Amino acid sequence: MKAHSGEVGVFVRIRPTANFADDLIELNICHKRDSRKSHDSKKSQLSCWSFRLEGVLQDVSQEEFYARVCRRVVLGALDGYNGTVMCFGQTGAGKTYTITGSTESYKQRGIIPRALQEVFQEVEKRTEHAFSVYLSYLEIYNETLVDLLSPRRCSPHPSPHSMVVMEEPGRGVFIRGLSLHLVHSEEEALNLLFEGEMNRIIGSHALNRNSSRSHCIFTVHIESRSRTLSDAKYITSKLNLVDLAGSERLGKTGSEGQMLKEAVYINKSLSFLEQAILALADRRRDHVPFRQSKLTHALKDSLGGNCNTVLVANIYGEAAQIEETLSTLRFASRMRCVRTDPAVNEHMDPAHIKKLQKDIQRLKEELSICNKLANRPSISYESLSEAQLAEINNQVQRYLEGSLEEISIVSINQVQAVFAQFKLAVQKCVSGCFIFFPLKYLPLLPSSPPPKEEAFEVFKVGQGSKINCILKENKAVLLERRTLLRKLTDEVNAVKREIDCTTATIQQHKELRRDQGTPNVCIIKKTLKGSGRCFNLWIAALKVPMKWSLP
Ligand SMILES: Nc1ncnc2c1ncn2[C@@H]1O[C@H](COP(=O)(O)OP(=O)(O)OP(=O)(O)O)[C@@H](O)[C@H]1O
């Protein structure tokens, strides 16, 4: 169901009477602008008032009333929106009849039993969700909080003072000490409603034989969890059905003694309610006096805010009650100015969160054992702080600009952050946003694949710079060795030439000596070193006489 944001829904219900004051009360359904016009034109005539309301219901059945005014609030509560239906008006005008209904016939049952029926019918229909429904029934009598469903009610010393209106962030307003009752069916819920009704304080005066002497808040607390999604989210809502005590003119009701005291309390708390509504309706005011009375404090988050709120103004249609009717309608039109902004009450299940946290811890431990076994240095899996993210972004930016050679990475999350930044930079570039890329980094862009040689050059000055250095060093060593080898070859060739000459000379001597005597021969060992290797050359030479010379 879509939430109705904006104003509080305000409806008027007229108690049936044979003496409807047609000459005093005119029921008009006007276009908004026309209605304002008529209001302005009648300002000067003090005896005429015009009120703009969402609907006026006269002689409507309980069924039609529920369908037109309450159904959307009840269905909203099943969707997770808080809802409030509140009956306000003069004593005897039909508030209890509207909220609870008459026990005379099933047809005359009021909003509460119909809402309970609707809730359990919907619970049956919405099989994809598991619903929990709890009920509470609070009475505020002479500024005292009373639990109408308290299990301790029958005890000889029930303690009404142990209940307190509390506020907690995330929980809103609640009554500490008020009993909550889990109910599984409409029947169980109705039994509790009747039990609470029996405990209400009723008095009798001239205008109402069964006058409620207190304010009553019947609350249906709904919690729903998805059966199909196993997530930690769940929604809650409160449906408040409020039967306010009736305002009364003491002269008319003739209240005395205890009844008079009750009437004073009732009128005072209703006046505080009016003050709170005035403040809520005035957008310039930032303080709303909710704590002036138990009633306003208990209803703090049920009068506007994130709640679907409906006010039913119960009035008499008789001339004798015209003053009270005017006062009720004034309150109703003020209530219309209260802004609402209904929102679903979504929560995270603390037990589920705890379980997930435990799972994460266990997985981290397993991962750390795996890393140890795989001889990997300790890798951090912690998520990055704002400062760490900013540092990574800065490094990526400098890397892209060419002022940083390497991005230091020590964790998996940093790798992800770096990739995310690269992706962002590429996306910006592709989508036409200006970003500075030096020429050598352009090959990073998928839209312009570089030639191999160019890519190698980029590699040599970038990531491959170390390898390039080693390559250069090795080249220098090889060059040095080549020079040495050339020198050695020259030497060997010279020696060889020497040997050839010597051999030729020996040959000549041999031929000469063949007739003269024995030759003088020895072995010369010559060692040459070069390029880290030893070249041993064994050279046979002849010791020639000093007088011997090369040709
Ligand atoms: N719309 C209605 N149709 C039939 N009977 C009604 C209607 N409204 C009120 N009544 C009857 O009028 C009488 C007074 O109504 P009810 O007790 O609901 O008034 P009330 O506003 O709750 O008064 P109080 O503030 O004193 O408790 C009851 O007998 C009730 O049945």
In this predicted model, what pLDDT tens digit does every residue of 127-176 receive, in sequence order? 999 999 999 999 999 899 999 998 876 655 555 558 999 998 878 899 99
Mean pLDDT computed over every residue of the chain: 80
* Cα 280 to middle of ligand 1, angstroms: 29
C-alpha separations of 205 from 39, 212, 380 in Å: 36, 10, 77
Closest residue CA from atom 16 of ligand 1: 94
**Bridge partners, 13 (sequence order):** 57, 314
**Predicted TM-score (pTM) above 0.90:** no
Is 253 annotated in some ligand binding site? no
More confident call, 220 vs 409: 220
User: Which of 13, 60, 96 maximizes ligand 1 atoms within 8 Å of its Cβ, making it the mutation to test the pocket?
Assistant: 96
Which atom of ligand 1 has the smallest separation from the CA of 246?
Answer: 25
CATH number of the CATH domain containing 129: 3.40.850.10
Closest residue CA from atom 9 of ligand 1: 94
**First and final CA of the chain: distance in angstroms?**
122
* Cα 361 to middle of ligand 1, angstroms: 62
Q: What does the DSSP assignment read for 132-164? A: EEEEEEEEEETTEEEETT-TTTTSSS--GGG-E
Closest residue CA from atom 2 of ligand 1: 15
Establish if 367 belongs to a structural domain: no
* Cα 190 to middle of ligand 1, angstroms: 20
State the amino acid at position 373 in one-letter form: L
**Is the same domain home to 191 and 232?**
yes
d(CA 528, CA 495): 11
Q: What value does the mean pLDDT take over residues 390-417?
A: 83
**Is the same domain home to 137 and 195?**
yes
Task: Tally the C-alpha atoms within 13 A of residue 241's C-alpha that lie toward its C-beta.
Answer: 29
**Whose structure tokens read 């009752």?**
181
User: Which of 140, 200, 208 maximizes ligand 1 atoms within 8 Å of its Cβ, making it the mutation to test the pocket?
Assistant: 208
Which atom of ligand 1 has the smallest separation from the CA of 97?
Answer: 18
- Of the ranges 31-35, 286-290, 306-310, 366-370, which one carries the lowest mean pLDDT score? 31-35
More confident call, 82 vs 213: 82
Q: Percentage of the chain with pLDDT > 70?
A: 81
Establish if 547 belongs to a structural domain: no
Is 94 annotated in some ligand binding site? yes
Which atom of ligand 1 has the smallest separation from the CA of 89?
Answer: 21
Give CB contacts under 8 A, 24+ apart, made by 402-408: 402/438, 402/440, 402/441, 405/462, 405/465
* Cα 82 to middle of ligand 1, angstroms: 27
With left for phi above 0 and alpha for psi between -120 and 50, is residue 461 left, alpha or beta? alpha
Q: Among residues 359, 350, 352, 142, which one has the least CA distance to residue 263?
A: 142
More confident call, 490 vs 298: 298
Whole-number pLDDT of residue 551: 37
**Is the same domain home to 299 and 175?**
yes
Whole-number pLDDT of residue 298: 94
Establish if 431 belongs to a structural domain: yes
**Is the same domain home to 480 and 453?**
no
Using the 3D structure, point to which of 463, 496, 515 is the last residue of a domain.
463
> What's the pLDDT band for 438 if we cut at 50, 70, 90?
very low
d(CA 167, CA 179): 17
Is 91 annotated in some ligand binding site? yes
Residues 277-307 as b or e (16 or more Cβ within 10 Å = b): bbbbbeeeeeebebebbbbbbbbbbbbbbbb
Task: Count structural domains, the chain.
Answer: 3
Q: Among residues 442, 402, 393, 450, which one has the least CA distance to residue 422?
A: 393
**Is the same domain home to 32 and 123?**
yes
Closest residue CA from atom 14 of ligand 1: 92
Is 95 annotated in some ligand binding site? yes
* Cα 93 to middle of ligand 1, angstroms: 5
Residue 19 has pLDDT above 50, yes or no: yes
Closest residue CA from atom 10 of ligand 1: 94
Using the 3D structure, point to which of 415, 439, 463 is the last residue of a domain.
463
- Of the ranges 187-201, 325-339, 521-535, which one carries the lowest mean pLDDT score? 521-535
Residues at CB less than 6 angstroms from ligand 1: 15-16, 89, 91-97, 102, 208, 210-212, 245-246, 314
* Cα 97 to middle of ligand 1, angstroms: 5
State the amino acid at position 421 in one-letter form: Q
Establish if 361 belongs to a structural domain: no
Helix axes 111-125, 186-199, angle to 10 degrees: 160
**Bridge partners, 165 (sequence order):** 175
Establish if 356 belongs to a structural domain: no
* Cα 221 to middle of ligand 1, angstroms: 27
Closest residue CA from atom 4 of ligand 1: 16
d(CA 357, CA 294): 41
- Of the ranges 31-40, 47-56, 362-371, 542-551, which one carries the lowest mean pLDDT score? 542-551
d(CA 322, CA 56): 16
**Is the same domain home to 477 and 450?**
no
> What's the pLDDT band for 32 if we cut at 50, 70, 90?
very low
**Is the same domain home to 475 and 408?**
no
Q: What value does the mean pLDDT take over residues 195-214?
A: 82
CB 295 within 8 A of CB 140: yes
Which structure tokens are listed for 161? 């003072």
Closest residue CA from atom 12 of ligand 1: 94
Which atom of ligand 1 has the smallest separation from the CA of 98?
Answer: 18
CB 341 within 8 A of CB 5: yes
Instruction: Count CB atoms within 10 A of the CB of residue 276.
Output: 24
* Cα 447 to middle of ligand 1, angstroms: 79
**Is the same domain home to 22 and 97?**
yes
User: Which of 15, 141, 270, 312 maximizes ligand 1 atoms within 8 Å of its Cβ, making it the mutation to test the pocket?
Assistant: 15
d(CA 219, CA 238): 6
* Cα 40 to middle of ligand 1, angstroms: 34
More confident call, 544 vs 396: 396
Which atom of ligand 1 has the smallest separation from the CA of 59?
Answer: 1
> What's the pLDDT band for 540 if we cut at 50, 70, 90?
very low
User: Which of 11, 97, 104, 262 maximizes ligand 1 atoms within 8 Å of its Cβ, making it the mutation to test the pocket?
Assistant: 97
Q: Among residues 332, 339, 341, 308, which one has the least CA distance to residue 55?
A: 332
* Cα 308 to middle of ligand 1, angstroms: 25
**Is the same domain home to 170 and 192?**
yes
Establish if 440 belongs to a structural domain: yes
Q: What value does the mean pLDDT take over residues 65-86?
A: 96
Is 89 annotated in some ligand binding site? yes
**Is the same domain home to 338 and 391?**
no
d(CA 442, CA 450): 8
Establish if 409 belongs to a structural domain: yes
- Of the ranges 243-247, 284-288, 378-382, 493-497, which one carries the lowest mean pLDDT score? 378-382
Closest residue CA from atom 8 of ligand 1: 94
* Cα 101 to middle of ligand 1, angstroms: 9
Tens-place pLDDT, residues 468-522:
888 888 888 888 888 888 888 888 888 888 888 888 888 887 777 665 544 443 3
Beta strand 55-58 pairing with 9-15: parallel
Whole-number pLDDT of residue 377: 63
Whole-number pLDDT of residue 538: 36
Domain limits for position 522: 467-542
Cα 370 from chain centre: 34
Task: Please tell me which of 50-59, 186-195, 386-395, 482-491 the model is most confident about, judged by mean pLDDT.
Answer: 186-195
Helix axes 257-281, 322-335, angle to 10 degrees: 40
Cα 42-47-51 angle, rounded to 5 deg: 60
Q: What value does the mean pLDDT take over residues 339-348?
A: 87
**Is the same domain home to 388 and 414?**
yes
Whole-number pLDDT of residue 153: 65
Which atom of ligand 1 has the smallest separation from the CA of 244?
Answer: 25
**Is the same domain home to 214 and 74?**
yes
Helix axes 412-430, 386-401, angle to 10 degrees: 50
More confident call, 348 vs 173: 173
Beta strands per DSSP E along 336-457: 339-340, 345-348
Which atom of ligand 1 has the smallest separation from the CA of 60?
Answer: 1
3-state DSSP of 469-491 = HHHHHHHHHHHHHHHHHHHHHHH
Using the 3D structure, point to which of 463, 488, 519 is the last residue of a domain.
463
Beta strands per DSSP E along 358-440: none
Is 45 annotated in some ligand binding site? no
422 burial class (0-12, 13-18, 19+ CB within 10 angstroms)?
Answer: middle
Q: What value does the mean pLDDT take over residues 370-378?
A: 72
Establish if 80 belongs to a structural domain: yes
* Cα 296 to middle of ligand 1, angstroms: 24
More confident call, 40 vs 265: 265
